[in-house]
């Protein structure tokens, strides 16, 4: 956690909670703000999101991900065809072109947790191992935001508890 406690307290007072997710570096890759959505009770799947910036001059590729919280982890792409949302695994992974940033975010590319072993809960970061074709693998922790959150700004850190309320969303997947 790189945010000073004082700064965090100030942000709480102002009602503006900054994104608390950490950033990571792996070779020429910058992994930005990994976060996951808390799952509603009984859910068997969940979604994780992050940005990957390639500061090198050769492309790399996110080929797979793994986590102890799920039996299977896949990298999915969500598309809308004739108003129907579909998602499917990207078999060759996600290319990270040289000098570019690729965003895994709700409604688009995402890390998909399948056959969850336990719920994804606020205040409990999700450990995920990301495997890249060239850069190798890195362990990151995804901070957890409430169900249905559009972005990581609602994610909560490790030890700050969960105090603000949220509405449960009933959704089929994520
Ligand atoms: Cu998915």
For residue 43, give the DSSP letter: -
Within a domain: residue 2? no
Within a domain: residue 48? yes
Distance 174 CA to ligand 1 centre (A): 7
Within a domain: residue 120? yes
Within a domain: residue 5? no
Report if pTM > 0.95.
Answer: no
CA distance 32 to 24: 6
Mean pLDDT by 10 residues, the chain (174 residues): 52 47 91 95 94 97 97 94 90 96 95 95 96 98 90 59 37 45
Q: What CA–CA distances, in Å, run from 81 to 77, 86, 104, 147?
A: 13, 8, 19, 24
Distance 7 CA to ligand 1 centre (A): 35
Within a domain: residue 156? no
DSSP symbols for 99-163: T-EEEE-TTSSEEEEEEESS---TTSPEEEEEEETTTEEEEEEEEEE-TT-SSGGG-B-SSS---
Distance 90 CA to ligand 1 centre (A): 10
Within a domain: residue 110? yes
Residue 172 burial (CB < 10 Å; 0-12/13-18/19+)? exposed
Q: How many domains does the chain have?
A: 1
Domain residues for the domain of 30 are 24-144
Within a domain: residue 134? yes
Within a domain: residue 36? yes
Distance 167 CA to ligand 1 centre (A): 22
Q: What CATH code is carried by the domain that includes residue 55?
A: 2.60.40.1890
């Amino acid at each position: 956690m790189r945010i000073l406690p004082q700064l965090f307290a100030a942000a709480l007072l102002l009602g503006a909670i900054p994104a608390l997710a950490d950033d990571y570096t792996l070779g020429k890759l910058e992994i930005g703000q990994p976060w996951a959505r808390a799952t509603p009770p009984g859910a068997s799947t969940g979604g994780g999101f992050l940005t990957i910036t390639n500061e090198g001059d050769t492309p790399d590729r996110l080929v797979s991900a793994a986590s102890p919280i799920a039996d299977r982890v896949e990298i999915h792409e969500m598309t809308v065809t004739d108003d129907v949302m579909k998602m499917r695994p990207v078999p060759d992974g996600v290319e990270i072109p040289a000098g570019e940033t690729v965003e895994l975010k709700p409604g688009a590319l995402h890390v998909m947790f399948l056959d969850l072993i336990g719920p994804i809960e606020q205040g409990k970061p999700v450990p995920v191992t990301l495997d890249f074709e060239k850069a190798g693998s890195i362990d990151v922790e995804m901070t957890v935001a409430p169900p249905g959150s559009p972005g990581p700004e609602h994610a909560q850190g490790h030890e700050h508890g969960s105090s603000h309320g949220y509405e449960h969303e009933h959704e089929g997947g994520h």
